[in-house]
Amino acid sequence: MVFLFAATIFLSALLLFWIQLVMAKMLLPRLGGTPAVWNTCMLFFQVLLLAGYSYVLAITARIGVRKQAIVHVSILLLSCLYLPLTLTGRLDASNPALSLFVYLLAAVGLPVFVISTTSPLLQKWFTRTGHASANDPYFLFAVSNGGSLLALLSYPLLLEPQFTLSRQNQIWVVMYVVFSVLSMGCMFVVWKSPRIPGIEQVSKGGLPPLSMRRRLYWILLAFIPSSLLFGVTTYITTEIAPTPLLWTIPLALYLVTFILAFSRTNLLPEQLASTALAGLALLLTLTLAANATQPTSAIVLLHLCFLFVAAMVCHNRLASDRPDAARLPEFYLCVATGGMIGGLFNTLIAPTIFNTLIEYPLVIVLACLLRRGDNSKPLNRLDLLLPACIAVLTIGLAFLVQQYDVSTVAGVAIVFGIPLVIINHRFRSRPVRFALAIGAVMIGSVVYSEIQNRTLHVERNFFGTLSVRLDPESATRTLYHGNTIHGRQFSDPDLQCEPLSYFHRDGPLGQIFDAFNVNAASPNVAIVGLGTGSMVSYARPDQAWTFYEINPAVISVAQTTEYFSYLQKCAAAPTNIILGDARLQLQNAPDNHYGLIVLDAFNSDAIPIHLMTEEAINLYLSKLAVGGMVAFHVSNRSLRLDTVLAALAKRNNSMSLRAVDGEHDPKTGKDPSEWVVMARHSPAFDSLSQNRRWRLLEGRTGANAWTDDFSNIVSVFRWYW
């Protein structure tokens, strides 16, 4: 009986996690990677999860268990009419968010709803079976998270590399049928189970009502780890190590803490967890205040350890405060609500109201408030005054260090080391005082950063954080997305029209434009990815340039002459900037229109895969004039993308060339870069092939070209740097 219920719950969690990944990949080529798509998809699954939990609370509170089984089996059988899952029809462009929500609801709504109800409903039913563990079914929640963990790890490592999306969809449907059979088996067990008078009485109001304070406490305990998960993931994948699939590690740790907490495995006793949380918080505050990113592995490990310990503290408290099984649906509804609020806060609210990742330090402080301390002493004025003194001390030390010529390391040690030592020795036993003092140091770090830093502009939106920084040594202004460079420009007015970084005239891009300008198949040029606009320095008066950029903040920065003046001062040709997903917007361009298409969208951690598939390549080639060519900027710290393009070129009967320029010269503003050019019967391509720096790319025999239906990011990882 336990195996039947556990297997059904495990499979439901696996299917729910899996379908989210499949749906996202299926929608990407059709709708692009705009915020409306991702936000709506995320909101859709969160709303259905809450709807499922609310449904369980409603039916278990109002009708008997046999009627519950009848209602649920009816909905389950009705959901099978959705199979197989397909995405058909058109979306309303005038209201894409609402249209997409309705679209997903019609395509997968009922199966996803049924799956979302499974864990709380079957746990509730398990209490009616008379099993020895029926009075405490919360261990099945650990089983549910185990299913999510398996889906998380197996999808990028096993399913995605081996199966196309259509085949994944077919496998999912088969597994959903198995899940339906198992669910009906659970219903049969419950139907045959004898009625237990005590349980019936409790379910009809034998327990005292839950207080609002306790519900809010559960929501808080679920909110903190959820928000930390998003905060840690965003920080380490943008500010420290922009590496694809690195996001899976924090999520895996988050799920593991749920499994450990609800499987009655006390891996971290509360006192040990409280001590570890304090020590990790102090170290983390130091690294955040100093903007430390090296050594990368140690810094990433520190963030992950804090997430794990903080999540263990919160989830252990959730597990220890779990109510009687009769209150199980209300408990899970509160947990789901807290998790949803954490996700919405970090992904939708924080990017709107903060221009940096302030929400991450805020939730670190909130997590420290939950530490176990000396609870015998009530709060007093010193719990507020002493942290305020720490803030004043940190800011005072920041101004003091500025007056003397000290190294960066020494400055950090003085400004942050002294306050943190005081906090460690004097505030540990008082959680509120400790947490607020940690927050005070973080506030002081903002002042220190403003004094020391040369940041000219910081802006944040759905796509991440953009910053413009001045480097006095090289006399350049640089555009960063996280810590990935997206272009730079000399401050000297006489040198401002020199393209720098990956786009240097002495680099591969300069050679591409030399070949193109001599043998232009068409004077029209398309650039995917605006950056600072530096590529416009290659424009000629007889040409017409079109930039495609998905991030409106990038357009704003590139058009602000205080930061970059390429578009205003260096554009010899007329330029047009089109906002939106490049693949969708390029469909509106005339066929055989461009002589050159340059794609500069693959040098960060989250590459837009839908721009590098067979269908995307066919689109680019259809927009090329006869003799035109496509250039790809594939400089990437984590991925070897030239092999993907070689396979795509072979599939499309095209030729491809690759150039790797490893030269780094701060004086001339040149960075190492890697470029690939693809064409069919192009004089410009033939001219480029005569250059010794360019090598012909041969597609590997048997290599699978990426399509909208298949991609394998693990296969192109650079396992050694």
CB burial class (10 A; 0-12, 13-18, 19+) of residue 191? middle
63 secondary structure, DSSP code: S
Q: In terms of domains, do 354 and 387 share one?
A: no
User: What was the pLDDT predicted at 247?
Assistant: 80
**Which residues are paired to 465 by β-bridges?**
460
Phi, psi of 624 (to 5 degrees): -85, 140
Q: In terms of domains, do 513 and 611 share one?
A: yes
Q: Tokens for 34, please give them.
A: 């705009």
Q: Do the domain assignments include residue 505?
A: yes
- Tell me the per-residue pLDDT of 504-530, one tens digit each, with 9 for 90 and over: 999 999 999 999 999 889 999 999 999
User: What was the pLDDT predicted at 544?
Assistant: 95
- Tell me the per-residue pLDDT of 674-717, one tens digit each, with 9 for 90 and over: 999 999 989 999 999 999 999 998 876 556 789 988 888 888 88
Q: In terms of domains, do 192 and 234 share one?
A: no
State mean pLDDT over 50-75: 89
Q: In terms of domains, do 360 and 396 share one?
A: no
Q: Do the domain assignments include residue 501?
A: yes
Task: Give the range of the structural domain holding residue 173, as residue numbers without chain letter.
Answer: 1-197
**Residue 501 burial (CB count, 10 A):** 24
Q: In terms of domains, do 390 and 354 share one?
A: no
- CATH number of the domain encompassing residue 661: 3.40.50.150
| Under 8 Å between Cβ of 386 and 433 | yes
Secondary structure class of 8 (helix, strand, coil): helix
pTM here is: 0.86
Q: In terms of domains, do 40 and 142 share one?
A: yes
Q: Of 625, 663, 646, nearest to 706 (Cα)?
A: 646
Query: What's the CA gap between 211 and 327, in Å, rounded?
Result: 12
- Tell me the per-residue pLDDT of 1-34, one tens digit each, with 9 for 90 and over: 888 999 999 999 999 989 888 887 888 777 777 6
Q: In terms of domains, do 662 and 534 share one?
A: yes
Least confident span in 57-66, 215-224, 328-337, 586-595:
57-66
Q: In terms of domains, do 618 and 699 share one?
A: yes
Q: In terms of domains, do 636 and 677 share one?
A: yes
Q: Residue 26 half-sphere exposure, CB side, CA atoms within 13 Å?
A: 22
Q: Do the domain assignments include residue 626?
A: yes
- Tell me the per-residue pLDDT of 616-667, one tens digit each, with 9 for 90 and over: 999 999 999 999 999 999 988 778 888 899 999 988 889 999 999 999 888 8
- CATH number of the domain encompassing residue 30: 1.20.1250
Query: Residue 91: which pLDDT band, with cuts at 50, 70 and 90?
Result: low
Q: Do the domain assignments include residue 339?
A: no
Q: Do the domain assignments include residue 523?
A: yes
Q: Do the domain assignments include residue 659?
A: yes
Report how many domains make up the chain. 4
Query: Residue 198: which pLDDT band, with cuts at 50, 70 and 90?
Result: very low
Q: In terms of domains, do 398 and 359 share one?
A: no
Q: Do the domain assignments include residue 524?
A: yes
Q: In terms of domains, do 175 and 258 share one?
A: no
Q: Of 111, 113, 116, 128, nearest to 187 (Cα)?
A: 128
Q: In terms of domains, do 410 and 313 share one?
A: no
Residue owning tokens 């020795």: 425
Asked if pLDDT for residue 317 goes beyond 50, the answer is: yes
Higher pLDDT, 471 or 77: 77
Q: Do the domain assignments include residue 208?
A: no
What is the chain's Cα-based Rg?
Answer: 28
